[in-house]
Structure 1
């Protein structure tokens, strides 16, 4: 063991000048030194600090989820007429397709699929399918989070994750043991897990969340005048897109039109095709194609950007972020059309998502430096893609909020303003908006309305769906 460890250390030492030369030749040395290496001690401090977990809340949730599962099982068995293992794909296949005679729409090599996409297609065919989907969701939440997290905390009930800098090809951080970046956000039930992430007695959690960060980066890299103007005017970006695409006055845009525009706004940034848009909006593919073409007509700079990135990626074999981070795309040379299309989507999205990741890392390094320079007790605990979570005291809250907001806003030199939403509370799920007071430079808490919560949840769900 000792000889192997020594050999690995020696190998790394001998490889260093070779790898350093490659960084310099690729124009990546500054990114490596000033972002990635500077971030290492920041992540180490975050991992050491951990985050407090409310074990009593998870215990109560476990009992509640257990009762919910028992009730769902009783109802499912009543529909089917007998008990079976709901978690067994083989038994579920027999029940759905042989006993209930529902149509099989997808096959694996050995059986008829019962994955989530198949069950969603069957939801309207039989009432039991919705119950099975709900059972699957609750069971997953209970086993993966509610029952698992208490086994991972330390003696102070704090949970410590490990951040990985070199896993995601876009430069995004990833998290393991446990994966705290995967804490559910798509459903109300899933979001309740965040209620167990708490501040210790006498302290508060401060959340700082980039507002539509990737769309703002899209406006910068595409230089589309319409999108830049909408952000400069602090417009509702999805309402503005609906008005431009559909040729409506802003006050004539309804919730349905705004929802379509929101999916297209985010979808374009992720290279979403008309087929993908049709699936997500549950509309004919032809209608989705018209929506996308009308969007490109309204935002010609974005069409130009997507076209140019595909050509550039094919010519040089890679794309870069604004800071020079590269992603190589061998998929573009594949014979398989699906692989090539996947490569094109990466070519469009990586400069956007990767630049967002670079900007967040820069902000984290600067915030950590400022915390130590000012001698603040506040700690940075979690990073979840476009959000940072801090633990702080009441007497430092306003100072921390202003400092974090200013640093995050200035992390990237964009042609459109970066905006940061701040929130504060005793747990990660139930947080008030934290806003500056215009007249005296102070801050105040504003409870979120039901509309605020609904809009935030819808925004997170769309972005999360496209990321995955």
Structure 2
């Protein structure tokens, strides 16, 4: 049939289908050979759904799936950095790309790609041709870049949302009609495709400008009329860049095609072609369903068993023999290793240093392994004095290559995308190399692989992993360095001993990688590792190296102020007790509480003394003021010792900044932990705790920006538990705590008191953590009965929460884990426990999907942030739970807020669509307290 009036062309964005299929389904491998096929399975299901539903009045007469050609396009000739920031496709997705083309042909749907052009250009060319011939066009995609084509018989269909995008839909999205979309995109740029645009101008501002001036050319020719100085300056100075950006976003409507629209005529699938392909992929369910619809017999697919989980066959490794590892003494030997690495395409690498603090550590040696059982150590700065030499010489030991010469030789490999660098806690090694000006890119991390697979089951240190999965106990570091005051640094370890220890680390890491890499697919966590764990490593490394400036004088003043408050509290406590006592002595505090005041609930230690832990005091604080004041004293004591005193010792002498280290594997739920110093646990509920943040300051000419997700866990709870009243309240921008208080306590919103709202807030957040009547009573310092009544009423008002809790616990008991909305598994081995442990395990299982999803959201935002703020005079410094902290030039603060807020609020998409918006609160100031 010749295409013309009355015909309908469907153009399917193949890449969008592939990536949606990949992210929507857990990893899947073909049983016979372990080939990743999850994306192919999802793609076939989407094609089958499309073929089945493409009927009726809207049925296409012509259709094609259009793919991107792998490789660079003509746009890279215009701008060599076009799409330069895009990460490589996940490793398990790469072999599936050609299979999706095969799948399309098997369904008897035309599929095309053109070298040097993108899928969008082919779609644009076909749409324009079809429109000129008088036919209709439906572009099946949600890609905003294609919206410039809408109109005149061309529409878009977001198949996932079943939403059609017409001219009005484009105006809703961009604020301008389709014919002006290119102008808006040229101004706003695109961080994903690395289209520079006009710095500081986003979609909304761009639309305002285009609507005011008519089009981009008019805007640039009259830029001097713009009243805002910075905006005017940008449009004048960056005119060439903006025009180049227009070239990049303008779709090519004359792409050279070796086929015509007539070649795209729709045909029914041929069962003799389609079913053998599905059988080859081993898609049993899909092939049976399609065969039934076609009225033919389903193909017989042999059920080839494959081991999964712990039953998977382990690779055959040679024994670990440290005596056989090589000491690299000269460049000839090192060059042999480099040649082997280049041939293999991967290397396990480990560094030995003088300190665990990456900012202060000096490189002592590097170990490499490419084949299990074969590893080497390159000593670099070992000292000639032996470890037991009292007057150990600082002269370098003989037989070592010059440090810079080795770094220069390894630098191309470490920076190469063609060589995979494998490490255990690779962030540490990458920062060490960065200290010497050497970039490490394209990494795998066995610690993070373990975390993605086994969170909640065991820890992820190399020694533990080696013993558990390799049955080998590594050489302990203490046997080389010693312990306590007599411990030495690694540069004092004799080189022959260092070779065994260091090369063994690289060998073990390589073996773990061979075990873990294929197992990610079987455990269905490849997406978690590839999108949430591995890409976060360089982001955290940069943040840690950035550090944050801390004012020592402010800390000193606070320390003195805390000491004075503690002295005043001590006097108050002495007066309450009727005599002096040691406030810091738990035994003496217990004696006053339980012997002198006769309060109930005390427990004695094995030595017969009263125990006064925080939970006991929190219970008693609901009944008496004395234990409440003891808690206040201990809080001040902790703030003083842990922060105002200790933080001063963490200020780096060279940078004047504090450089915390983030631990990705520190919490089962995906939340980051922070160490040396721990900046995650600075209290924010007390005035004193909030004041600590005053010591974190911006340098002169800079300001600190805080962006904080507003009640993200409550929003996720409303989503997963399906609580419509809460979801609507969030959509309407209501004060959720005031709304809850009004619902529970029957208090009109206009009569709400701070105290009533505070109680509702405590219940809202407490329920997320499975809080008990005891816990809520402690938090509010009210009687337990009253607190339990609040909780009971809460569940009556929001029955969906109770249902979510019960369903989650039941799922955990059946499957041994719970999952976040992004597929992160949190194992729950204690869920079947008895006694007090059972309650803890249930609460952890209930909270994990909520807290874990929130953690995943902010990880996604952090991963996207470097590209988004590139070119801005800004650095991302800290992540504290739901908050990101930035340092930026004062005059660029508002611009940064706009950019970062957009990244954070859209971080869940496209992997997860939340029923409620994510809202980010922003602040700025000379110090963290002001910004927050």
TM over 0.5: yes
Match of 2:756 in 1: 257
1:115 aligned residue = 613
> How far does residue 289 in structure 1 lie from its aligned partner after superposition?
4.3
Deviation at 1:298, TM superposition (A): 2.6
- Specify the SS of the correspondent of 2:830: helix
Matches within 5 A, 1:152-167: 152-155=650-653, 156-167=655-666
CA distance in 1, matches of 2:747, 2:581: 53
1:129 and 1:168, CA in 2 relative to 1: closer, same or farther beyond 3 A?
Answer: closer
- 1:303 is matched with 802
Query: Number of aligned pairs?
Result: 428
**Counterparts of 1:246 and 1:122, CA distance in 2:** 26
Matches within 5 A, 1:353-432: 353-372=851-870, 375-412=871-908, 413-431=913-931
Match of 1:218 among 703, 706, 717: 717
Q: Residue 303 and residue 134 in structure 1: after superposition, are their counterparts in 2 closer, same or farther (change >3 A)?
A: closer
Question: Deviations for 1:169-227, whole angstroms, at most 9, x for unmatched residues?
Answer: 00000000110111121211121111100001111000000000001111111122211
- Larger CA deviation: 100-109 vs 376-385: 100-109
**Quick one: structure 1 residues 81 and 370, their matched pair in 2 at CA, closer, same or farther if it must change by over 3 Å?**
same
2:563 counterpart of 1:66: yes
Q: 1:292 to 1:121 in 2, by over 3 A?
A: closer
Name the CA shift for 1:103/1:24 in 2 (closer, same or farther; >3 Å): same
Partner of 2:514: 17
Counterpart of 1:444? none
| Alpha-carbon contact 1:55-1:157 (below 8 Å) kept | no
Q: Is the 8 A contact 1:225 1:301 kept in 2?
A: no
- State the distance in 1 between where 2:610 and 2:579 align: 21
Q: Which secondary structure does the structure 1 equivalent of 2:669 belong to?
A: coil
The residue number in structure 2 matching 1:209 is: 708
Match of residue 34 from structure 1: 531
Q: 1:317 aligns with which of 802, 816, 826?
A: 816
Structure of greater Rg:
2
The structure with more helix, counted as a fraction of residues = 1
C-alpha separation between the residues in 2 aligned to 1:61 and 1:125?
31
Residue 335 of structure 1 aligns to a residue whose secondary structure is coil
Deviations 1:12-33 (A, max 9, x none): 1112132122211222112211
CA distance in 2, matches of 1:386, 1:430: 17
Q: Per the alignment, in what secondary structure is the counterpart of residue 610 of structure 2?
A: coil
Task: Give the superposition deviation at 1:73.
Answer: 4.2
CA distance in 1 between partners of 2:720 and 2:883 (Å): 22
Compute the displacement of 1:128 (Å).
6.0
Residue from 196, 216, 241 that aligns with 2:695 = 196
Structure 2 counterpart SS, 1:148: helix
Is residue 735 of structure 2 the alignment partner of residue 236 of structure 1? yes
Describe the SS at the equivalent of 1:392. Answer: strand
Q: CA deviation at 1:371?
A: 2.2
Given that 1:218 and 1:352 are in contact with CA atoms closer than 8 Å, whether structure 2 keeps it comes out as yes
Deviations 1:326-359 (A, max 9, x none): 11112221122x2222222122111100000000
Match of 1:45 among 542, 547, 552: 542
- TM-superposed deviation, 1:262: 1.8
**Correspondence 1:101-180 to 2 at 5 A:** 101-103=597-599, 105-110=601-606, 111-120=609-618, 132-155=630-653, 156-180=655-679
Give the structure-1-normalised TM-score: 0.84
For structure 1, the 5+ residue unaligned runs are 433-468
Any stretches of 5+ residues in structure 2 without a counterpart? Answer: 1-497
Secondary structure of 1:198 counterpart? coil
Contact kept, 8 Å, 1:102 with 1:122, in 2: the verdict is no
* TM value normalised by structure 2: 0.44
* Contact 2:622 2:777 survives alignment (8 Å): no
Shift of 1:299: 2.4
Structure 2: distance between partners of 1:251 and 1:62: 42
Per-residue Cα deviation, 1:121-157 (whole angstroms, up to 9, x for no partner):
5569887655544432322221111111111111232
Q: What's the CA shift string for 1:21-66, capped at 9, x where partnerless?
A: 2211222112211221101001001111111001111122222233
Q: Is it true that 1:4 corresponds to 2:501 in the alignment?
A: yes
Structure 1 CA distance, aligned partners of 2:618 and 2:774? 17
For the residues of structure 1 that align with 2:782 and 2:627, how far apart are their CA atoms?
Answer: 22
Stretch moving more, 20-29 or 286-295: 286-295
Q: What is the alpha-carbon distance in structure 2 between the residues aligned to residue 289 and residue 131 of structure 1?
A: 25
Alpha-carbon distance change, 148 to 311 in structure 1, aligned in 2, over 3 angstroms: same
Q: Distance in 2 between matches of 1:114 and 1:198?
A: 37
CA contact (8 A) 2:619 2:777 kept: no
